[in-house]
Amino acid sequence: MGFSNWSKTVVVEEEDHISLTRKMAALTISSSTLGGFTFDNCKRNGFLEAKANELGCHLPAARKTGTTICGIVFKDGIVLGADTRATEGMIVADKNCSKIHYISPNIYCCGAGTAADTEMTTQMISSNLELHALSTGRRPRVATANRMFKQMLFRYQGYIGAALVLGGVDCNGPHLYSIYPHGSTDKLPYVTMGSGSLAAMAVFEDRYKPGMEEKEAKALVRDAIAAGIFNDLGSGSNIDLCVITADKVDYIRPHDQANKKGSRTGDYKYKRGTTGVLTKVVTPLNLDVVEESVQTMDTS
């Protein structure tokens, strides 16, 4: 019922309800036996968007993280870093969002791209990985999480706009992956993603060395994210860090408040006594109550 009303007003003006349902039934019978991907809805979505734009209403812009995220492998494990700005077009939607997501106690994942996509995807894989770990009886491996991510993202052919930096330490040592929205992955000693990735990568290419100490590694990641924050408009605010080693995880949020809000230096309020009082005369007004009535407000 609801569908036919909607289709009458937006898509089709002349056709009546009965012929439409007959067509709908015909559609469902013919497409069920074909394998592979079906992109029928894409055409419909494109049409609907064009129609909406014609009427003057625009679909809401996806909130992107417009980010700088990065990760490196150091001597004892992984350091992941991220900025904390979430943008909606040209506006900062969230000044202090968290882009380093929990996957499992030994695996964390930074997400860039569409905020909803990174959030839901990481939660989904985290949940599946926990079930998988309970089933195997072992600590989950980073390669497993990587495989789960890429198989899901490829299935959606890039429509899920999630660009991820996945890092963790498992029984085989530290591992670091970058995962792209279309489902390709790279296994590298240092990776950056997001709009500020070039700035961060410049810092890595300049100063990365294999087998760094934890302090040096944290400083390098902090500098890479800072380069993204100060040279890319899509990144900003603070720097979050996550240090993962074989025995512990340090989720440092914030590691560096690179953009603290300034405090006001002056005040327009004048202190009592600024204007000198010469004389003061107090005259009480003696008023008698003549009539008192109560009128209730109509708050229904």
Partner 1 sequence: MNSLARLGELSGSLDSFRPWVPSWRRQATRLGWSPSPSPSRSRTAAGHRRSMASEEFQRTPMVTGTSVLAVKFTGGVIMAADMLGSYGSLARFRNISRLMKVNNSTILGASGDYADYQYLKHVIEQMVIDEELVGDGHNYSPKAMHSWLTRVMYNRRCRMNPLWNTVVIGGFYHGQSFLGYVDKLGVAYEAPSVATGFGAYLAQPLMRDALENKPELSKEEARQLIDRCLKVLYYRDARSYNRYEIAVVTEDGVEIVGPLSSETNWDIANLVSGFE
Q: Which residues are catalytic?
A: 67
Q: Which amino acid is located at 240 in the chain? A: D
Q: Tell me if 234 sits within 8 A of 267, measured CB to CB.
A: no
Order of strands across the sheet with 239-245?
A: 190-193, 69-73, 77-83, 239-245, 249-256
Q: Which amino acid is located at 217 in the chain? A: A
Closest among 194, 248, 201, 247 to 220, alpha carbons compared: 201
Q: Minimum Å distance from CB 174 to partner 1?
A: 11
Order of strands across the sheet with 173-179?
A: 100-104, 107-113, 162-170, 173-179, 185-187
- Distance in angstroms (rounded) separating the CA atoms of residues 98 and 153: 22
- Tell me whether residue 164 or residue 226 sits nearer to partner 1 (CB atom): 226
The alpha-carbon radius of gyration of the chain (Å, integer) is 29
- Distance in angstroms (rounded) separating the CA atoms of residues 197 and 165: 11
- Tell me whether residue 97 or residue 201 sits nearer to partner 1 (CB atom): 201
Residues that bind partner 1 (CB under 8 A): 73, 143, 146-147, 150, 177, 184-190, 198-199, 201-203, 205-206, 208, 210, 223, 226-228, 230-231
Q: Minimum Å distance from CB 25 to partner 1?
A: 44
- Tell me whether residue 68 or residue 115 sits nearer to partner 1 (CB atom): 68
- Distance in angstroms (rounded) separating the CA atoms of residues 220 and 209: 10
